[in-house]
Amino acid sequence: MVALLLTAALAAPAVPAVPCRQGLDATANIAARDAVIGPLVLIGGKRHARHDPNGFGGHGFKMPVTLPADVKATLKVPPSMRGKVGLVFRQAVQDRVIERGVRAADRALKFIACTGEGRTGWPGGLVVDRPRCVTLVVEVQGRPAVRQRVPLGRPCRE
In a domain, 157, yes or no: no
pLDDT < 70 stretches in the chain: 1-12
- When divided into structural domains, the chain yields a total of 1
The CB density around residue 49, as the number of other CB atoms within 10 Å, is: 14
CATH of residue 25's domain is 2.60.40
What is the reported pLDDT for 1? 55
pTM (two decimals): 0.89
In a domain, 128, yes or no: yes
In a domain, 5, yes or no: no
In a domain, 9, yes or no: no
